[in-house]
Structure 1
Amino acid sequence: MNRNQVLPQVELPTEPNALKKVDFCAPQSYKGAGFLGISDLPRVAEEVSTAIPGDGFDWSIETHFEDSPGSEPHQILDLGLKGRLHLVCQRCLQDCAVELDEKRRFVLVLTEAEADAYPIEDEEQEPLVVNQHFNLLETIEDEVLLSLPLIPKHPDGFCEPHVSSFGDEADEEVSNERENPFNILKNMKKN
């Protein structure tokens, strides 16, 4: 590819099925944005506690080529995700809204060998192996799953008290007021 060549920019479609086959090997750059509901992301849908209308993710994609010293320019993919879903709070076991606002940068490579050779020290971008039929929808879903908190919970002070299925606090107070069994032995010793 000529370093001075101006490449066409292709607008990505917003339909989820159209994102399943994107040709990142073509000499062009991409730009696009849209919204994906929870139902468009089946693996994410398995994680949610409640599917509320309006939950989902706004996504944006933009690719461009960057010069790299001593080699051909690398194609860079910038991915933005912003949205909300509901998970189970691990403190109170109630629904908890989780907001995500993520930005990721990938350098697009054609082979696993190129990905393995990419420097681990580069924390700003990671390699992503692409082909002519790349599933961008799956990559978006992967990034949503990787962004979920390990232990979802409400902010401090916002959890609703969890009602125990073994009784309420009034029953506990009654059991604490029972006579200590050792008091009987104490009385027997006095006699």
Structure 2
Amino acid sequence: MVSARRSFQGSLPIAAMPRLCEALADDAGSATYALDFGRDEYGTAYVDVRVQAPLWLVCQRTLEPFVMPVTVDSRLGLIRSERDESALPAGVEPLLVAEDDKLSPVDVIEDELLLALPLVPVNPDSVLPEEVTRPPVEAISTEERPQNPFAVLRELKKN
């Protein structure tokens, strides 16, 4: 694929990526992708990965599901051993290729979508519940304030 500078484009159902589905609220929809293989000016084999997918996440503010459009655009340097990672140009992420030089495009797409997921998903259109945003209750007067359990200790310390 690298020598022939092959390109692949298509659509992949979200449900076909089981590791990604574990992190989602729903496996509906599909991801559109483009994979472009080639070599850069230094002779380094790479694959350009571009993916767009609407992912169903659970908002951690409201605990409601919402759709987050995710876009991935990255270049992965194809390496055969971990020591080859240091030779990659800046801005190129390493992708370790198996001994048989085979690469699963579905796994690459799934990995990139997993890495693009936010640590704490929050729907930008969500609103905090009223009990959180309500202004504070007026200060309680000293007569209404409950007895401080340490008041007894304060009296003992005075003696």
Q: Secondary structure at the match of 1:67?
A: coil
Mapped pair 1:76 → 2:46: yes
Once the two structures are TM-superposed, the CA of residue 162 in structure 1 deviates from its matched residue by 8.6
Structure 2 counterpart of 1:127: 94
1:74-95 deviations in whole A, cap 9, x for unaligned? Answer: 2221100101111110011001
> Is this contact kept in 2: 1:93–1:162, CA < 8 A?
no
Q: How many residues align?
A: 136
Once the two structures are TM-superposed, the CA of residue 51 in structure 1 deviates from its matched residue by 3.2
1:140 to 90, 101, 109: 109
Structure 2 counterpart of 1:64, which letter?
G
Structure 2 counterpart of 1:153: 122
The two structures have a TM-score, normalised by structure 2, of 0.72
1:46-83 deviations in whole A, cap 9, x for unaligned? Answer: 1111233xx23111100122222xxxx22221100101
1:98-136 deviations in whole A, cap 9, x for unaligned? Answer: 110110002222222212x335x71x2122222422222
Percent identical: 26
The two structures have a TM-score, normalised by structure 1, of 0.61
Mapped pair 1:32 → 2:5: no
2:65 to 95, 101, 122: 95
> Is this contact kept in 2: 1:94–1:160, CA < 8 A?
no
2:76 to 84, 97, 106: 106
Runs of 4+ aligned structure 1 residues displaced above 6 Å come to none
Matches within 5 A, 1:16-27: 27=3
Q: 1:56 to 1:161 in 2, by over 3 A?
A: farther
1:64 to 29, 34, 38: 38
State how far apart, in whole Å, the 2-side matches of 1:162 and 1:83 are.
Answer: 33
> Is this contact kept in 2: 1:106–1:127, CA < 8 A?
yes
Mark the runs of 5 or more structure 2 residues left unpaired by the alignment: 132-143, 147-159
Once the two structures are TM-superposed, the CA of residue 160 in structure 1 deviates from its matched residue by 7.4
**Once superposed, what is the RMSD of the aligned Cα atoms?**
2.8
> Is this contact kept in 2: 1:118–1:127, CA < 8 A?
no
1:9-45 deviations in whole A, cap 9, x for unaligned? Answer: x6xxxxxxxxxxxxx6xx4322001111121100111
Structure 2 counterpart of 1:61, which letter?
L
State how far apart, in whole Å, the 1-side matches of 2:19 and 2:130 are.
Answer: 28
Q: Secondary structure at the match of 1:29?
A: coil
